[in-house]
Chain A
Amino acid sequence: MPAKQAQFDALVRATSGDLYRFAFWLCGQDALAEDLVQETYLRAWRSLDDLRDTQAAKAWLMTILRREHARLYERKAPTSFEAVDDLDLVDDDTPGPDRLGEDALIRRAIAALEPKYREPLLMQVLGGLSCDEIATELKITAQAVMTQCFRARQKLKVALAGQSVEGRSHGLP
């Protein structure tokens, strides 16, 4: 097997799971997430020579996927088809309030986050990226990333607690 193909095989097997999850939480649909991942890897294959640092592979793929996602909807704001509002696949038969577990609560809260909060959080939790790395990928300051990740976690904790923590201890966890 040629070296380039072997490298690509290893890249796909090492990263496709987390990249699929990243895509799923971006678009909220399993089929669309898989298509985005497929397109991302095709583009990655064509520009594999650009990947110099294997440690940065996941960040590189996430950037390609984000562009692919944006390209898909660049002329349209997401509609109900694309909005993350259908997590049947995750929530087992759409449980009612009594059956809704804490994990499901967190999932819904993640889905409800504004993209500016959700994206850096996903890159951090699923991609293992630092705030500096995320800042580079998103082309914003590291301080802004820290603020967005901080607020994202606060919103999830509020959802989990079922009560507002606004103003409580200046946001201390």
Chain B
Amino acid sequence: MDCLEFRRELAAQPQHLGVEATRHRAECRACAEAWQRAIGFEQRLHHVMAVPVPEGLADRILLRQTTVTRQGTRVARQGWTRIAAGLVMAIGVAGVGYLGLRSPDSLASASVAHLSHEPFALDRTEPIPAAEVARAFADSGVALKAPLTQVTYLVHCPLNGKRSLHLVVRAEGQAVTAMYVPGEHQGDADFVDQQVVGRHREIGPGTLVLLAGSDQAFDRIEAGFRAAIEGSPVRAGMK
């Protein structure tokens, strides 16, 4: 191996030099020095790539995994009980129970759990232009029919395996988290989870989830989303 070949391999994989390259490094002082510089650069690369890992990440991963596992076990156990009560009835009950009860719980829980992922979302107060909000919805396949205003946070996030829109909307002096999940149809429900008050409503081609410390602004915000997504007469403004 000559110096040029060594340097090419060095630049491609400095941490995994082959036998030939290792031998050349031992014989060529200039290339040994180049290797030292390359290793220094690698350490620097590793340093700059080492962005802070969210505190408690591993615990949250394990909590979610064990929760999902337990839910699966519970659903299976309920299924067997129903089968014992009668096969036909069990199929019907299990089907309705699964679709009608479990799914809303999972969307609500997933939404509440998602709040902790973006703790700074509520700190932002500068309204995002309505055109930008409309673009984000259009990007998710939803054409807004009226402007959605007083949105201070907006990002695409995965929720329940679906690409959703995570917004913070300010209304009546309150910051309310809104998750809009296109393609999700889980009916309407109100819930309280971990001291978070929430509701989800089917609006247009998806489901809107609202989360806050209280539901005082929910009606106004829901009306705003209905106006924006479905085009109902109420103006989609939240003041």
Contact = CB atoms under 8 A, between A and B. Distances in A.
Contacts, number: 135
A125 interface: yes
Interface of B: 4, 7-13, 15-16, 34, 37-38, 41-42, 44-54, 57-58, 60-62, 64-66, 68-69, 114, 117-118, 136, 139, 154-159, 161, 163, 166
Nearest to A154: B11
B158 A16 contact: no
Contact of B58 (A5, A16, A126): A16
10 contacts: A31-B117, A32-B155, A35-B157, A35-B158, A42-B64, A42-B68, A106-B48, A172-B4, A173-B7, A173-B34
Contacts of B53: 16-17, 20-21
B45 to A, nearest CB: 5
A7 interface: no
B117 A35 contact: yes
Given A31-B117, A124-B15, A131-B13, A103 B46 contact: no
B42 A125 contact: yes
Interface string A16-45: 110011001100011110111111011001
A172 B159 CA distance: 46
Nearest to A145: B12
A103 B50 CA distance: 11
B54 A30 contact: yes
Contact of A16 (B45, B48, B57, B64): B57
Tell me what chain B mostly uses at the interface: helix, strand, loop, or mixed: helix
B230 to A, nearest CB: 23
A29 B10 CA distance: 31
A47 interface: no
Interface in A40-67: 41-42, 45
Closest 9 CB pairs of A and B: A146-B12, A31-B118, A130-B16, A150-B12, A172-B7, A31-B117, A17-B53, A150-B11, A35-B158
B65 A45 contact: yes
A73 to B, nearest CB: 8
- The winner among B34, B53, B114, B117 for most chain A CB atoms within 10 A is B53
A73 B140 CA distance: 11
A163 interface: no
A173 B11 contact: yes
A35 B57 CA distance: 10
Given A82-B156, A130-B16, A173-B34, A34 B11 contact: no
A110 B48 contact: yes
A171 interface: yes
